[in-house]
């Protein structure tokens, strides 16, 4: 498709329909949405639609469709692969104002939300009702539920509780052209037709704009125990991950942080911690159950190379530790982010091959992440862009050779769009393209990204 209409003509049309409170074209509005946390860009949109509700989104998508203007949905802009970036200009469809929790229904265990709700806000509201919304991306204080759904976000607790996909029962999607459609349902079960809401989960803004979501909640666990196991040998920590799970021990969290990452955490928490590779473990359930599970996990770690297991004695320490873990990525400035996923039993080989190959390219790589799920994260220090590209490619190749995936949770976006065929068979890609054109025949949704 061509996107040739003069900006002024379509922007005027948007302005007339939605007004200045919603349509922004001043430089500050465009610049503040020209980047996300990927470090890619900047890419300036030509107009921002700061939608107040589904109706605003419908109007914007109707005009965009008529005028063939690219639309880039944006939540909170915390994406690490450039998914929200307006690579061809056009409209940044910002959902941050649509931030109401519309309903929490404790009897049916659901929440109905707008897409701009910050993830931690829903968690706080749910917990106030003794309920629990488990998906916990490390960016949870800043990212939005719309962005989480569009990226199928994970987080540490995905090990026991699953990804965002496991909590989406239904959603309202505004299609290019402006029509709104409800996909999915309010009930836990319901198998009438294809599981259409899940086609939208992980679609990275390429099918339409999510304007409401019905999310599943669960009862809040009564107790949580947090502990850290420190391993002098990195490979022992890596092996412990799959072996512990193979023994039938399933903590809700099993995070790996390498020696360099641990030294960053040691500097930021207000209490002493040993050195080494760390497995951050968390169990939950009843008071007795959580402690029994942690004792088993700790015993296992000590029997498999951990020199010390430190239990966070109170909630304050656990909170401090989590805050240090969550800000780990930001505490390593000047380095590039990446993530892949491997079968958890392949973590030892993945880590040793990645260290060897990336070291050979002169890159310094901090390895951490949601090891219980095989989801490894990287902070790559490499100033030369060509070597950075080779470093990323080495990591992707190793992950795929070990039966893994190009990305466990950060998505494809702009960063990995050229590599998607490394993982997906061409027939699968063709089917995905057909699915996209069923939703978005004119190709105005997030063009320039993976489809
Ligand atoms: C420090 C840090 C830690 C992180 N940790 C994790 C982690 O543990 N797990 C994890 O999964 N991710 C993590 N991320 C990545 C990021 O926070 C997630 O991908 C998050 O889901 C993005 O949400 P957002 O609201 O910022 O979306 P944005 O960055 O604004 O957008 C992301 C994508 O979603 C699309 N989108 C946004 N809203 C909508 C909508 N309403 N309708 C349709 N499409 C939409 C956009 O077009 C884009 O493709 C981390 C990021 C940072 C900076």
Residue 424: helix, strand or coil by DSSP? coil
- Determine whether the shortest distance from the Cβ of 78 to ligand 1 is under 6 A: yes
- Determine whether the shortest distance from the Cβ of 205 to ligand 1 is under 6 A: yes
Q: Enumerate the H helices of 141-213 as residue ranges.
A: 145-151, 158-161, 196-200
Atom of ligand 1 nearest to the CA of 144: 25
- Which among 108, 151, 138, 106 is positioned nearest to 125, based on CA atoms? 106
Half-sphere exposure of 254 (CA within 13 A, CB side): 26
Atom of ligand 1 nearest to the CA of 413: 49
- Determine whether the shortest distance from the Cβ of 23 to ligand 1 is under 6 A: no
- Determine whether the shortest distance from the Cβ of 147 to ligand 1 is under 6 A: yes
Token duo for residue 415: 């960063």
- Euclidean distance between CA atoms 91 and 112, whole angstroms: 27
- Which among 58, 171, 56 is positioned nearest to 115, based on CA atoms? 171
Q: What distance in angstroms lies between residue 53's CA and the mean position of ligand 1's atoms?
A: 20
- Euclidean distance between CA atoms 213 and 149, whole angstroms: 9
Q: What distance in angstroms lies between residue 129's CA and the mean position of ligand 1's atoms?
A: 26
Atom of ligand 1 nearest to the CA of 36: 29
- The secondary structure of 42-63 as a DSSP string is ----SEEEE-SSHHHHHHHHHH
Token duo for residue 269: 């928490």
- Determine whether the shortest distance from the Cβ of 76 to ligand 1 is under 6 A: yes
Contact between 155 and 247 under an 8 Å Cβ cutoff? The reply is no
Atom of ligand 1 nearest to the CA of 72: 47
Task: For 42-63, write each residue's pLDDT tens digit.
Answer: 999 999 999 999 999 999 999 9
- Determine whether the shortest distance from the Cβ of 395 to ligand 1 is under 6 A: no
Contact between 84 and 73 under an 8 Å Cβ cutoff? The reply is yes
Token duo for residue 164: 């965002």
- Determine whether the shortest distance from the Cβ of 36 to ligand 1 is under 6 A: yes
Task: For 244-259, write each residue's pLDDT tens digit.
Answer: 999 999 999 999 999 9
- Euclidean distance between CA atoms 150 and 210, whole angstroms: 8
- Determine whether the shortest distance from the Cβ of 446 to ligand 1 is under 6 A: yes
The residue with tokens 């409800």 is 182
Helix (H) or strand (E) holding 171: strand 168-174
State the pLDDT at residue 55.
98
- Determine whether the shortest distance from the Cβ of 84 to ligand 1 is under 6 A: yes
Q: How far, rounded to the nearest angstrom, does the alpha carbon of residue 326 sit from its chain's CA centroid?
A: 13
- Euclidean distance between CA atoms 394 and 412, whole angstroms: 17
Token duo for residue 372: 């219980």
Residue 373: helix, strand or coil by DSSP? helix
Q: CB neighbours (10 Å) of residue 367?
A: 25
Please provide the size of the chain in residues.
Answer: 451
Atom of ligand 1 nearest to the CA of 446: 47
- Which among 215, 217, 214 is positioned nearest to 133, based on CA atoms? 217
- Determine whether the shortest distance from the Cβ of 412 to ligand 1 is under 6 A: no
Q: What distance in angstroms lies between residue 160's CA and the mean position of ligand 1's atoms?
A: 21
State the pLDDT at residue 6.
60
Contact between 259 and 233 under an 8 Å Cβ cutoff? The reply is no
For the chain, residues with pLDDT lower than 50 are 1-2, 4
List the residue whose alpha carbon is closest to atom 21 of ligand 1: 148
Choice from 41, 80, 415 to test ligand 1 binding pocket (greatest atom count within 8 A of CB):
80
Q: What distance in angstroms lies between residue 200's CA and the mean position of ligand 1's atoms?
A: 14
- Determine whether the shortest distance from the Cβ of 113 to ligand 1 is under 6 A: no
List the residue whose alpha carbon is closest to atom 16 of ligand 1: 79
DSSP classification of residue 395: H
- Determine whether the shortest distance from the Cβ of 373 to ligand 1 is under 6 A: no
- Determine whether the shortest distance from the Cβ of 410 to ligand 1 is under 6 A: yes
State the pLDDT at residue 1.
47
Where would I find the beta strands (DSSP E) of 185-312?
A: 209-216, 218-219, 223-231, 253-257, 277-285, 308-311
Choice from 81, 143, 327 to test ligand 1 binding pocket (greatest atom count within 8 A of CB):
143
- Determine whether the shortest distance from the Cβ of 139 to ligand 1 is under 6 A: yes
Structural domains of the chain ordered from first start:
7-97 (3.30.43.10), 101-219 (3.30.465.10), 223-326 (3.30.70.2190), 336-423 (3.30.70.2740)
- Euclidean distance between CA atoms 398 and 358, whole angstroms: 11
Q: What distance in angstroms lies between residue 96's CA and the mean position of ligand 1's atoms?
A: 12
- Which among 189, 60, 207, 87 is positioned nearest to 146, based on CA atoms? 207
Q: How many degrees, rounded to 5, is the angle at CA 147 between CA 401 and CA 421?
A: 30
Q: How many degrees, rounded to 5, is the angle at CA 185 between CA 179 and CA 186?
A: 120
The Cα-based distances of 449 to 10, 94, 311, 411 in angstroms read: 23, 18, 44, 11
State the pLDDT at residue 320.
83
- Determine whether the shortest distance from the Cβ of 253 to ligand 1 is under 6 A: no
Atom of ligand 1 nearest to the CA of 153: 11
Q: How many degrees, rounded to 5, is the angle at CA 351 between CA 241 and CA 403?
A: 80
- Determine whether the shortest distance from the Cβ of 172 to ligand 1 is under 6 A: no
- Which among 317, 159, 390 is positioned nearest to 252, based on CA atoms? 159
- Euclidean distance between CA atoms 235 and 218, whole angstroms: 36
């Amino acid at each position: 498709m061509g996107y040739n209409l003069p900006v002024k003509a379509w922007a005027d049309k948007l302005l007339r329909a939605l007004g200045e409170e919603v349509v922004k074209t001043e430089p500050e509005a465009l610049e503040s949405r020209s980047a996300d946390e990927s470090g890619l860009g900047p890419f300036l949109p030509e107009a921002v639609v700061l939608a107040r509700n589904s109706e605003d989104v419908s109007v914007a998508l109707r005009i965009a469709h008529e005028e063939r203007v690219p639309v880039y949905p944006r939540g909170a802009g915390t994406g690490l692969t450039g998914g929200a970036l307006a690579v061809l200009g056009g409209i940044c469809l910002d959902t941050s104002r649509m931030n109401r929790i519309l309903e929490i229904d404790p009897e049916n265990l659901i929440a109905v939300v707008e897409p701009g709700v910050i993830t931690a806000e829903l968690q706080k509201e749910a917990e106030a009702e003794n309920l629990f919304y488990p998906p916990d991306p490390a960016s949870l204080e800043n990212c939005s539920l719309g962005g989480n759904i569009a990226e199928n976000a994970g987080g540490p607790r995905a090990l026991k509780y699953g990804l965002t996909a496991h909590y989406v029962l239904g959603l309202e999607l505004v299609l290019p052209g402006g029509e709104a459609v409800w996909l999915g349902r309010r009930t836990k079960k319901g198998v009438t037709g294809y599981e259409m809401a899940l086609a939208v989960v992980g679609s990275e803004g390429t099918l339409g704009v999510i304007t409401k979501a019905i999310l599943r909640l669960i009862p809040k666990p009564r107790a949580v125990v947090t502990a850290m196991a420190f391993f002098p040998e990195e490979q022992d920590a890596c092996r412990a991950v799959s072996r512990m799970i193979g023994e039938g021990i399933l903590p809700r969290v099993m995070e790996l942080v390498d020696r360099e990452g641990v030294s960053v955490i040691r500097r930021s928490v207000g209490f002493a911690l040993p050195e080494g590779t760390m497995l951050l473990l968390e169990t939950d359930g009843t008071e007795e159950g959580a402690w029994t599970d942690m004792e088993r996990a700790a015993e296992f770690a000590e029997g498999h190379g951990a020199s010390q297991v430190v239990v966070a004695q109170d909630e304050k320490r656990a909170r401090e530790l989590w805050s240090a873990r969550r800000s780990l990525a930001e505490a390593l400035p000047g380095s590039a982010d990446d993530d892949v996923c491997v079968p958890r039993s392949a973590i030892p080989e993945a880590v040793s091959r990645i260290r060897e190959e990336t070291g050979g390219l002169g890159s310094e790589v901090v390895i951490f992440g949601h090891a219980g799920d095989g989801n490894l994260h990287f902070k790559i220090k490499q100033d030369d862009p060509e070597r950075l590209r080779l470093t990323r490619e080495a990591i992707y190749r190793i992950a795929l050779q070990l039966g893994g995936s190009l990305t466990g949770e950060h998505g494809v976006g702009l960063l990995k769009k050229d590599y998607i065929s490394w993982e997906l068979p061409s027939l699968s890609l063709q089917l995905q393209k057909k699915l996209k054109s069923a939703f978005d025949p004119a190709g105005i949704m997030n063009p320039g990204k993976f489809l």
